[in-house]
Structure 1
Amino acid sequence: MADIKIKSMTESSLLVAITVIVALVGVYIPLLGEVAILIWPLPILILEVRHGLKWALLSVLAAGIIMAILIEPMSAIRLVLGFAPPAIALGYGFRRALPAGQNLLISLVTAVISMLLALGLFLAITGINPFNMELEMMEDTFNSSISAYEAMGVPADKVAEMKDNFGQAFKLVGMLMPLIIICSGLITTLINYVMGRKVLTHLGYNLPKLPPLDQWRLPVALFYLFGFSLVGIYWGESRNISLLTQISYNAFFLTTCTGFVQGVAILSSLLRNKISRWMFWIIIGFIFINGLLAQLLAFVGLFDMIFDYRKRFSARRN
């Protein structure tokens, strides 16, 4: 028992040190810091699976105190409150051997709630809306770019067109903040699930893995949500119902993204063993950066939720 406790303390100390180092990289090193923040919860996840919830919570507390001293208390609180709970939820799912989809869903909900709590606490303590702060930074960057274009002699009508396009994009980004939070939570959860499972598998753990991409099928409810979002956008804009408009736009872009993912799964199934996987991902990358093709693939994926094209293709082959 003493040996187990010493081992837990040793690994906890090591992982706390790694967590603090990753946090320092995330705060002080540009670009690399964005990646570091995404994997910041990974040591907590690994510690919980190996030694249980108690050691994970103690490590989060220790890491938070050290970060508050070395970095800044508010940043430490935002990191701990925003990213530690999803890691603990993932660790719980791994320890319980929950199916991958169920574990990801629980962790995603936890991540979204945690991020909202962290943002709310930041607003309560500082009086600054973090959403507005991010939007102001974007606006300052854009204004600097416009000043540079004007100094280079870009025609006034072109500058006015860029300002108009930015104004529309700026308004849309502000409207889609709820979706941005959901996507941020999903990216963080997915990255830590994949990396955490890979590390723990190397350590000898047998953990559920995500099904192959070819088999991904998203709930048919997303298709109906897509239809309701179109109706909501029409009603909201035609009757100046701002809340309905915002909810509908978030639902529209969310369901469009899920449709794109399902469309990629269809292509993966169709092209499996026909082209190399790296060539497949090059094609997906080309589709992704082409707005029209990406939208078409998203529509295919959305309708697949009802018609199940892969099942029909499989039946024809047989």
Structure 2
Amino acid sequence: MNRSLQGLVEGSLITAINIVLAWFSYWFFPMIYFIPLPSLILTYRHGLRISILSLIISIILLSLMLSPFSAIFLMLPSGILGLYLGYGLQKKFNLRLLIVGSFTLLLFFEILSIYLSMILFKMPFEKVIGIDAMKEGWRKSLEIFRNYLGESNNEYIDMQNKFMENLHIFVPYFLIISTLFQVFLNYIIVERVLKRFKIEAPSLPNLEGFRISKKLLFSVLALYILFIFVNIPSKNIILSNLYLFLQTIILFNGYIFAWILLKHYISRKSLRILLFILFILNPIFGSIIFIVGFVDIFFPLREKLILKEG
């Protein structure tokens, strides 16, 4: 079979797989993380032209089963992500370029879907991004919290209430964090599946060996300081999001340290996971982990206390 005919046959098969995956993900959302795979493999094997054609046909056929809007916004972002990753692997892009490109694409489609939902369906901004549902969930949780603890934690409750009232300010932060989560989850799935097809892909670093770089921390801190002295209309929103992002990366580093610590001293995985969840949920542990995470960025704490012993 010549190369062109083989590409057409595989393109037809990939189109069918695309439609099946997208249809299943409409009813079971986690399946959406597998949608990039068919386009990725087709692009890697036969290039962009036939892959783009396959994606367009998939969207047209899927729109006959679902609404055109659902078909486009269900398949287009993941399909284009698959095209980009397939092209990137074919051209031997490094891991950083693959991740940054994927993040940029998905963030663009996140913002576009919010904008179009507001324009086409006349939906308010808070409803589109789910803030109203989060606030309602918080109110119900607050009632349970008060019944359980009484009036002993009013200061903590007031602080959380203030955060929920200003939740719309942190939309940029939530968009960036959720997009990063999607990118890394997508890439983990892609990497594991591609190994079975014997397609080489740059590997993500081991989580236990990952440390937030001083360069990233100083970059965010420098931006924060810069915007303190800049007078623009959205200054407070930018500062609030940068501050929250700064806290997040330090906490993330601290949680990695906590996981390494638990893994080193506790052999039972179930107990390890239970204690780790406790660390996440308990505010006191959160403060300790924040301090440890900050120290570990500048000082080789894990190597001194844990890895050296191992």
Report the TM-score, using the length of structure 2 for normalisation: 0.77
Change (3 A) 1:40 1:313: same
* Alpha-carbon spacing, 1:273–1:295, altered in 2? closer, same or farther (3 Å): closer
- 1:216 paired residue number: 210
For residues 69 and 23 of structure 1, what CA distance do their matches in structure 2 show? 13
Corresponding residue number in structure 1 for 2:199: 205
Which residue number in structure 2 is paired with residue 184 of structure 1?
178
Verify the 8 A CA contact 2:264 2:306 in the aligned structure 1. no
Structure 1: stretches of 5+ with no match in the other structure: none
Q: Look up the match of 2:33.
A: 38
- C-alpha distance 289-123 of structure 1, shift in aligned 2 (>3 A): same
Q: Is the CA contact 1:41–1:87 (under 8 Å) kept in the aligned structure 2?
A: yes
**RMSD between aligned residues:** 4.0
Give the aligned partner of residue 21 of structure 1.
20
Q: Give the corresponding residue for 2:6.
A: 7
Q: CA deviation at 1:167?
A: 5.8
Task: Give the superposition deviation at 1:298.
Answer: 3.4
Q: Which of 61, 86, 90 is the matching residue for 1:91? A: 86
Q: Does the Cα contact within 8 Å between 1:225 and 1:255 map onto a contact in 2?
A: no
Q: What secondary structure is seen at the aligned counterpart in 2 of 1:58?
A: helix
Identity of aligned residues (%): 22
The CA deviation string for residues 28-52 of structure 1, in whole angstroms up to 9 with x for no partner, is: x3xx32x123333232223322332
Pick closer, same or farther for the CA change 1:261–1:139 going to 2, 3 Å: closer
Aligned residue identity for 1:191: L
- The Cα offsets for residues 8-30 of structure 1, whole Å up to 9 and x where unpaired, read as 33333333223223322333x3x
Q: Which moved more, 1:243-252 or 1:220-229?
A: 220-229
1:68 aligns with one of 60, 63, 75 = 63
Which of the numbers 287, 306, 309 marks the counterpart of 2:301?
309
After superposition, the Cα gap between the structure-2 partners of 1:107 and 1:304, relative to the gap in structure 1 and judged at 3 Å, is: same
Long gaps (5+) in structure 2: none
User: Normalization by structure 1: what TM-score?
Assistant: 0.75
Deviations 1:76-99 (CA, angstroms, capped at 9, x unpaired): 222344333333332233223333
Greater mean deviation of Cα atoms: 199-208 or 260-269: 260-269
Count of residue pairs the alignment pairs up? 300
Summarize the Cα distance change of 1:99–1:292 in structure 2 as closer, same or farther, 3 Å threshold: farther
